[in-house]
Amino acid sequence: MCRGGRLVNRSDPEGAIAEAAKKYSNWGRWGEDDVLGTLNLLDEAKRREGAALVRRGVSFSLSQRFDMKGPQKGWRRRTNPVHTMLDTGTDAALGNQGFPHGIGGADDVIAMPLQCSTQWDGLGHIFDHGFAWNGRRADKVVTSDGDLVTGIEHMAPYVAGRGVLLDVAQVLGTDGELPDGFAITEGHLRATAEAHGVGIGRGDIVLVRTGHLARAKRDGWGDYAGGPAPGLSFSTAGWLHGTEIAAIATDTWGFEVRPNEFENAFQPLHQVVIPNVGLLIGEMWDLDGLAADCAEDGVYEFWLTAAPLPITGAVGSPVNPIAVK
């Protein structure tokens, strides 16, 4: 594997992670009390720029459905959502609800891991050698009471601005899909942006389509959750830092290429970009409908709003991103 023009030792993930973490660290950049990371780069001007992209008024939900038919298979107790009705139309029709003058209603509850479907990884989700975002000790940040410092509720007002789709699968894949294990490099990202006629820069929310979800929707979930997949190469850490994007999301379970590029490694790019860069990462986004529209009209930038639920102390959140063109 290459990084910055040099060969990287596949058997030394520790060394590569340490080097990248030091080189691309944003610790202290926005002050010692910062809880937003790269979302600091998405300012009012960038939101005005994003809002000005609305021309046709057509909108797209970029979320998968939240139901029992999702991709999860129980890894680390991640399950698909369980939806339970508390009151139903049957109860109302039978007069069992005890309300006056014939009024009836339905109520329901849902139980699910916060990262079981379309979601954001919060800044308290991943640690590097026991340290969380901005150099804080992990045990002082996330406890059994939740993320006491960088809970995802802090991000709720800010995730709205210029979105850019990089449909790498359309540009480099076969029939709009990349094969499992395809490592998307900085060169691939730049080539895709050039093919789409878009620039990537400070404060943007970048969406990377690999076609992996499209394949899962067609062929069945299989090992979509945690198995082999296309995704970002570890070598993109410098691009993710240097472009100063605010956030990035993919249509895959784990954002980075799987199997990972190092031997005996697990999600090394996460270990660099979340606790060290402070980057907001989204996973399992459904980009297919948006991608089809972008290919038809040739416009790959849009207004995007994707606020996490303000769940106090959460290290991740379900999200229903909306792209408007």
Q: Where are the domains of the chain?
A: 2-75+113-324, 82-111
Which tokens go with 307?
């606020």
* pLDDT for the residue numbered 319: 98
* pLDDT for the residue numbered 1: 57
Answer yes or no: are the C-beta atoms of 158 and 36 closer than 8 Å.
yes
Beta strand ranges found along 28-75 (DSSP E): 59-61
**Predicted TM-score (pTM) of this structure:** 0.96
HSE, side-chain direction, 13 A CA sphere, residue 288: 16
Q: How many residues does the chain have?
A: 325
* pLDDT for the residue numbered 10: 85
Report the distance separating Cα 232 and Cα 258, nearest Å.
Answer: 9
Report the distance separating Cα 295 and Cα 104, nearest Å.
Answer: 47
pLDDT < 70 stretches in the chain = 1-8
Question: What is the widest separation between alpha-carbon atoms in the chain?
Answer: 76
CATH number listed for the domain at residues 2-75+113-324: 3.50.30.50
* pLDDT for the residue numbered 9: 75
* pLDDT for the residue numbered 7: 52
Question: pLDDT digit string (tens) for 197-219?
Answer: 999 999 999 999 999 999 999 99
CA 114 to chain centre: 12
Which residue, 249, 316, 242, is CA-closest to 285?
A: 249
Which tokens go with 323?
């792209």
Which residue, 319, 320, 270, is CA-closest to 125?
A: 270
Answer yes or no: are the C-beta atoms of 152 and 317 closer than 8 Å.
yes
